[in-house]
């Protein structure tokens, strides 16, 4: 644990996508469909106005087709099976679906997948530094910043966005940065400690 | 000790029901519900919905092969409405489609017509109309009618407390997978796997042994998944059974809030008699509980209200009556505290009234009436190992109460529109299910041949850390590293006939059962070691994963296990625990209902902006009776979380219906729960020293619910702030004390002044 304390800010950011540049994933389900000659499905897709979407998720380039009304969170959870990101309130009030989009924390339930076209997404699954926990994740472990764990991915991603903006946040910046993320277990005192611990480690 | 799953949680790897990778071809269900509060269905047309793209089938009450019944305590609740609907959100049909979106789209194509009936929304109106869940229940102590004349003063009042939405972040969810031989496996986000199993079996009309309910973890429960997870599991199971395909039902937030019940709102009348020194002599209270449209757990909740009607005070003459009123809102249900908080809010209000009458601070009245060792509760049990005064004294001295009071008075002299307030909140909460038979649990412990340990219990993990505690218990008894102890999912095939994980009792009951199972195996292992090592039993010791004879290490844990296996030693044990010494005679409302009581005292401070009605909870400091906690991190987290949730109930969380019984606070945009800003600036929970509890596992005490009730202190601290602004404030005892209510109350008083 102690060796992680000294982790540099460069390593902190490294988790976001510069990690595995160049790898390329095509969502298999669509790939199979595409192999057929204009199938019923393709015809339907044409009718429904499916669009090609290209984005980077946790450092991997993804090219897929989506219905225009697909939410980013549904793309992540259902197509890419990145189920760490949670749907809680469906209306941008709770932060359970927080991800990082081009360096900023956003609610992925409030965005169309197509709006992420050409952008870079980091989810909770993209934070691991190889086999090791990201210092933020480690801080939540060390400070017991959770109870049931359902809001935790959102909390950690919000904290990640906060620390990208304010590497050395004041108490007020922590409260404001984390205020969009609800925790019904109300583990807030320990969430505050976790964010502080992470900030002091990443410095 | 850390939460067992913490490493997975922080990586987003923990699987909740909606995250499960279900078999290909899994179908998705959505619920069509009543949009009126009371009426008779005259017609339903599902033809357009059935023809809708992706829709596979639509199920109604007539498709249920078993009994259309989900009621547990009283059989008065159907899974799907048959003709009459009793609340907005009552399930009528289940639409099953290839995708969730297609199922949702089909909902809007269902045409329904009703003959509307007038709904009852208020419990007092229900009472007048004779709309009750069951006959009233009364607890009595002493002789109340004889003592009113002896009282120097008598005060009366009315107290209203609002409901509370559980808002577990994981909504109600279930996935059902049909198996060969008409069996069905149901993954459910339930606190009560056995109740869910029973409901599923009843709906399908099959024996319970054909239903397997499995629970890995819950994204929060708080009581909302004690009785109310089962209908959703049954719906998924019904569709899976009929279609012979896996079916998933995960509620979206708005549906969850609309369909499911909440904490019971109460409207209560009290009459309290006391001496001029502030000694309470008589207390009469009548609780009108808004139960909603069906019994659910309301009678048990009501009973706990009566159990806790005097909180941590001794009152020699008490008459408490509880009336469970049937109304046209979703059936209200268990919520952390289970009727206790509603009761304590009333007695604290009554005490406030005494303090105003006698013109002394409320804490002096509270202090004067605290329970002492041997005092009798209204249900006949006597306070044993009573820590009421102990925690009170420690809290007031540790937190320098008198000094705080002075500095607050000084602040209030210096500030016109910012006012500080302070309140002390003692609690006393009984531990045990008040239905005695429910106080039982079982554990199944296996040691595998490589020495690793697997444990199944009836406890459901929902963030309260029960799995961590059970691991600790096993690791301590075997004296092995905790990393080799694994906790399995909660499963009705491994642990049958279990009680729900509720009443704060999960770790107590299941921990004790685990202890017994581990001790069984340990005894066999010691005898095995005796034979293997040719030593005397008294010389052998298992410690830190090694086996010693007279302090000399002879074997590793793994060696002992593999050698014992070869010697045909049984390395598994199933054990059963039932809380001893408890009983309760419902016909007399007397008995030793609780294994023990939890005590504690909190001091809450607030600052009120009298122009805006907004307030800040500046400080919450408590001395809490954890017994001898063996999992301090977990227990502290539970206490902090419960306090914040309790403050939320008393302050910002407001359930609103329109006059037609439609829920207005039906989403997170209209129903506010505490966020991180709401954390008190100063927040301390201290462990009461010397509070050994022989009735708890390793002398600990249950922790889930009791600290919730410290939140009531926030109400009275805000009220104190308001009274600092206007000493003669005219107000009602009505919670939640939202900023709007604060402002309306303050401004109402200002108007009165002007018009005079």
DSSP string, A97-151: TEEEETTEEEEGGGSBGGGGTT-EEE-GGG--BTTBPPHHHHHHHHTT--SS-SS
Q: Cα(B724)–Cα(A98) distance, rounded to whole angstroms?
A: 42
Q: Cα(B357)–Cα(B370) distance, rounded to whole angstroms?
A: 19
Nearest one of B138, B218, B225, B237 to B170, comparing CA atoms: B218
What per-residue confidence (pLDDT) applies to B663?
97
- Selecting from A77, A128, A185 the residue whose C-beta is nearest the C-beta of B220 gives A185
Q: Best interface-test mutation with A: which of B7, B10, B216, B466 has the largest number of A CBs within 10 A?
A: B10
Strand residue runs (E) in chain A: 24-26, 51-57, 60-66, 98-101, 104-107, 120-122
Q: Do A90 and B8 touch (CB under 8 A)?
A: no
CB B431 within 8 A of CB B596: yes
**pLDDT tens digits, one per residue of B347-377:** 999 999 999 999 999 999 999 999 999 999 9
Number of helices and strands in chain B (H, E): 19, 28
- Selecting from A90, A138, A153 the residue whose C-beta is nearest the C-beta of B12 gives A153
What per-residue confidence (pLDDT) applies to B1?
84
Q: Is B170 exposed, middle or buried (0-12, 13-18, 19+ CB in 10 A)?
A: buried
Q: How confident is the model at residue A3 (pLDDT cuts 50, 70, 90)?
A: very low
How far does the CA of residue A11 sit from the closest CA of chain B (Å)?
17
Please give the average per-residue pLDDT across B42-68, as a whole number: 98
Nearest residue on chain A to B19, alpha-carbon basis = A83
Q: Cα(A168)–Cα(A164) distance, rounded to whole angstroms?
A: 9
Q: Is B513 exposed, middle or buried (0-12, 13-18, 19+ CB in 10 A)?
A: buried
**Rounded alpha-carbon distances, angstroms, from residue B29 to B213, B457, B753:** 19, 30, 59
Q: How confident is the model at residue A14 (pLDDT cuts 50, 70, 90)?
A: very low
Task: Please check the confidence at residue B723 and state whether its pLDDT lies above 80.
Answer: yes
Q: Do A148 and B465 touch (CB under 8 A)?
A: no
Q: How confident is the model at residue A20 (pLDDT cuts 50, 70, 90)?
A: very low
Q: Cα(A77)–Cα(A59) distance, rounded to whole angstroms?
A: 17
For chains A and B, what is the number of CB pairs under 8 angstroms?
159
Average pLDDT value for chain B: 97
Please give the average per-residue pLDDT across B298-322, as a whole number: 98
Q: Cα(B153)–Cα(A98) distance, rounded to whole angstroms?
A: 58
> Is A179 touching B (CB cutoff 8 A)?
yes
Q: How confident is the model at residue A41 (pLDDT cuts 50, 70, 90)?
A: confident
- Selecting from A81, A175, A186 the residue whose C-beta is nearest the C-beta of B644 gives A186
What per-residue confidence (pLDDT) applies to A37?
65
Residues of A within 8 A of B669 (CB-CB) are 91, 93
Q: Best interface-test mutation with B: which of A108, A184, A193, A196 has the largest number of B CBs within 10 A?
A: A184
CB B235 within 8 A of CB B350: no
Task: Please check the confidence at residue A11 and state whether its pLDDT lies above 60.
Answer: no
What per-residue confidence (pLDDT) applies to A96?
98
> Is A175 touching B (CB cutoff 8 A)?
yes
Q: What predicted TM-score, i.e. pTM, was given to this entire model?
A: 0.95
Two structure tokens written together for A120 = 């870079």
Task: Please check the confidence at residue B751 and state whether its pLDDT lies above 80.
Answer: no
How far does the CA of residue A49 sit from the closest CA of chain B (Å)?
17
- Cβ neighbors of A10 (< 8 A, separation 6 or more) are none
Task: Please check the confidence at residue B206 and state whether its pLDDT lies above 70.
Answer: yes
- Cβ neighbors of B310 (< 8 A, separation 6 or more) are B283, B318, B347, B377, B378
Task: Please check the confidence at residue B519 and state whether its pLDDT lies above 90.
Answer: yes
For chain B, give the percent of residues with pLDDT over 90: 98
How far does the CA of residue A15 sit from the closest CA of chain B (Å)?
13
CA angle centred on B202, ends B200 and B206, rounded to 5°: 90
Two structure tokens written together for B141 = 């102590």
Q: Cα(B344)–Cα(B522) distance, rounded to whole angstroms?
A: 45
Nearest residue on chain B to A182, alpha-carbon basis = B675
Q: Do B667 and A91 touch (CB under 8 A)?
A: yes
Q: Cα(B221)–Cα(B166) distance, rounded to whole angstroms?
A: 7
Q: Do A149 and B219 touch (CB under 8 A)?
A: yes
Give B177's strand partners.
Answer: B185
**pLDDT tens digits, one per residue of B5-22:** 999 999 999 999 999 999
3-class secondary-structure state, position B445: strand
Q: Do B637 and A91 touch (CB under 8 A)?
A: no
- Selecting from B10, B463, B668 the residue whose C-beta is nearest the C-beta of A137 gives B10
Task: Please check the confidence at residue B137 and state whether its pLDDT lies above 80.
Answer: yes
CB B722 within 8 A of CB B613: no
Two structure tokens written together for A195 = 């964010």
Residues of A within 8 A of B18 (CB-CB) are 83, 87
Please give the average per-residue pLDDT across B175-201, as a whole number: 97
Task: Please check the confidence at residue B752 and state whether its pLDDT lies above 90.
Answer: no
Q: Among all residues of B, which ones are annotated catalytic? A: 705
Q: Do A189 and B683 touch (CB under 8 A)?
A: yes
Listed by number, the residues of chain A in 71-90 with a beta carbon closer than 8 Å to a beta carbon of chain B are 77, 81-90
What per-residue confidence (pLDDT) applies to B703?
98
How far does the CA of residue A41 sit from the closest CA of chain B (Å)?
13
How far does the CA of residue B158 sit from the closest CA of chain A (Å)?
30
> How many residues belong to chain B?
756
Residues of B within 8 A of A184 (CB-CB) are 166-169, 220, 222, 645, 673
**pLDDT tens digits, one per residue of A127-167:** 998 999 999 999 999 999 999 999 999 999 999 999 999 99
How far does the CA of residue A187 sit from the closest CA of chain B (Å)?
6
Two structure tokens written together for B389 = 């005064």
The residue assigned the tokens 């404001």 is A176
Please give the average per-residue pLDDT across A188-203, as a whole number: 95
Q: Do A146 and B677 touch (CB under 8 A)?
A: no
The torsion defined by the Cα of B640, B646, B648 and B654, in degrees rounded to 10, comes to 160
Please give the average per-residue pLDDT across A35-41, as a whole number: 69
Please give the average per-residue pLDDT across B658-666, as a whole number: 97
Nearest residue on chain A to B257, alpha-carbon basis = A89
What per-residue confidence (pLDDT) applies to B754?
52
What per-residue confidence (pLDDT) applies to B756?
44
């Amino acid at each position: 644990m102690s060796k992680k304390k000294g982790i540099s800010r460069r390593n902190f950011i490294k988790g976001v996508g510069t990690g595995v540049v160049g790898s390329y994933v095509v969502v298999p389900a669509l790939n199979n469909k595409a192999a057929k000659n204009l199938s019923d499905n393709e015809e339907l897709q044409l009718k429904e106005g499916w669009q090609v979407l290209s984005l980077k998720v946790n450092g991997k380039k993804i090219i897929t087709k989506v219905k225009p009304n697909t939410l980013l969170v549904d793309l992540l959870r259902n197509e890419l099976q990145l189920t760490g990101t949670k749907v809680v309130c469906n209306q941008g009030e709770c932060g359970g679906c927080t991800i990082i989009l081009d360096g900023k924390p956003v609610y992925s339930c409030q965005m169309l997948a197509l709006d992420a076209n050409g952008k870079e997404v980091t989810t909770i699954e993209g934070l691991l530094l190889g086999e090791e926990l990201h210092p933020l994740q480690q801080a939540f472990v060390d400070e017991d910043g959770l109870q049931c764990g359902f809001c935790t991915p959102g909390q950690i991603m919000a904290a990640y966005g906060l620390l990208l903006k304010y590497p050395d946040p004041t108490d007020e910046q922590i409260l404001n940065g984390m205020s969009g993320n609800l925790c019904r277990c109300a583990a807030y005192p320990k969430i505050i400690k976790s964010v502080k611990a992470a900030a002091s480690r990443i410095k | 000790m850390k939460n067992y799953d913490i490493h997975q949680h922080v990586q987003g790897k923990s699987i909740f029901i909606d995250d499960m990778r279900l078999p290909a071809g899994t179908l998705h269900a959505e619920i069509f519900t009543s949009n009126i509060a009371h009426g008779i269905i005259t017609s339903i047309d599902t033809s357009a919905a059935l023809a809708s793209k992706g829709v596979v089938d639509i199920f109604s009450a007539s498709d249920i092969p078993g009994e259309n019944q989900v009621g547990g305590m009283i059989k008065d609740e159907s899974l799907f409405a048959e003709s009459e609907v009793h609340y907005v959100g009552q399930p009528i049909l289940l639409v099953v489609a290839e995708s969730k979106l297609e199922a949702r789209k089909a909902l809007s194509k269902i045409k329904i017509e009703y003959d509307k009936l007038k709904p009852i929304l208020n419990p007092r109106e229900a009472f007048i109309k004779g709309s009750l869940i069951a006959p009233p229940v009364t607890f009595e102590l002493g002789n109340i009618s004889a003592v009113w004349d002896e009282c120097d003063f008598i005060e009366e009042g009315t107290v209203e407390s609002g409901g509370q939405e559980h808002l577990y972040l994981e909504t109600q969810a279930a996935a059902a997978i049909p198996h060969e031989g008409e069996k069905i496996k149901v993954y459910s986000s339930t606190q009560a796997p056995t109740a869910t199993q029973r409901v599923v079996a009843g709906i399908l009309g099959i024996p319970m042994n054909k239903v397997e309910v499995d629970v890995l973890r819950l994204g929060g429960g708080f009581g909302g998944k004690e009785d109310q997870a089962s209908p959703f599991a049954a719906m998924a199971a019904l569709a899976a059974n009929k279609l012979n395909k896996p079916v998933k039902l995960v509620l979206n937030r708005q549906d969850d809030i609309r369909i499911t019940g909440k904490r019971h709102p109460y409207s209560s009348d009290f009459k309290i008699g006391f001496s001029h020194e502030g000694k309470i002599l008589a207390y009469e209270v009548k609780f009108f509980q808004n139960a909603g449209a069906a019994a659910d757990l309301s009678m048990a909740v009501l009973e706990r209200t009566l159990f806790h009607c005097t909180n941590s005070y001794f009152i020699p003459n008490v008459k408490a009556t509880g009336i469970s009123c049937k109304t046209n809102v979703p059936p209200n249900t268990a919520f952390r505290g289970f009727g206790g908080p509603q009761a304590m809010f009333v007695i604290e209000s009554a005490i406030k009234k005494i303090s105003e009458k006698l013109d002394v601070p409320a804490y002096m009245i509270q202090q004067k009436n605290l329970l002492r060792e041997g005092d009798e509760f209204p249900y006949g049990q006597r306070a044993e190992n009573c820590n009421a005064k102990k925690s009170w004294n420690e809290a007031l001295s540790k937190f320098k109460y008198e000094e705080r009071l002075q500095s607050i008075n000084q602040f209030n002299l210096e500030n016109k529109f910012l006012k500080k307030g302070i309140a002390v909140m003692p609690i006393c909460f009984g531990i045990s299910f008040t239905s005695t038979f429910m106080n039982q649990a079982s554990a199944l412990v296996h040691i595998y041949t490589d020495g690793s340990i697997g444990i199944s219990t009836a406890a459901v993990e929902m963030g309260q850390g029960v799995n961590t505690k059970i691991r600790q218990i096993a690791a301590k008894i075997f004296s092995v590293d905790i990393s080799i102890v694994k906790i399995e999912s909660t499963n009705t095939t491994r642990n049958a006939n279990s009680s729900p994980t509720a009443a704060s009792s999960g770790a107590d009951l299941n921990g004790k059962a685990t202890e017994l199972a581990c001790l069984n195996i340990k005894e066999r292992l010691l005898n095995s070691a005796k034979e293997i090592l040719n030593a005397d039993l008294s010389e052998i010791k298992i410690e830190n994963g090694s086996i010693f004879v007279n302090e000399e290490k002879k074997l590793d844990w793994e060696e002992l296990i593999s050698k014992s296996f070869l010697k045909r030693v049984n390395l598994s044990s199933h054990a059963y625990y039932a809380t001893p010494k408890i009983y309760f005679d419902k016909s007399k409302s007397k008995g030793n209902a609780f294994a023990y009581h939890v005590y504690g005292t909190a001091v809450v401070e607030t600052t009120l902006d009298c122009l805006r009605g907004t307030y800040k909870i500046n400080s919450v400091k408590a001395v809490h009776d954890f017994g001898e906690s063996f999992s301090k991190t977990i227990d502290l987290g539970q206490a902090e979380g419960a306090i914040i949730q309790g403050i939320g109930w008393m302050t910002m969380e407001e359930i609103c219906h329109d006059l037609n019984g439609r829920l207005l606070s039906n989403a997170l945009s209209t129903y506010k729960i505490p966020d991180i800003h709401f954390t008190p600036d100063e927040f301390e929970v201290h462990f009461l020293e010397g509070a050994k509890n022989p009735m708890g596992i390793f002398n600990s005490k249950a922790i889930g619910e009791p600290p919730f009730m410290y939140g009531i202190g926030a109400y009275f601290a805000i009220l104190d702030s308001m009274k600092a602004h206007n000493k003669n404030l005219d107000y009602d005892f009505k919670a939640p004390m939202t900023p709007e209510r604060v402002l309306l109350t303050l401004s109402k008083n200002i108007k009165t002044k002007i018009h005079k």
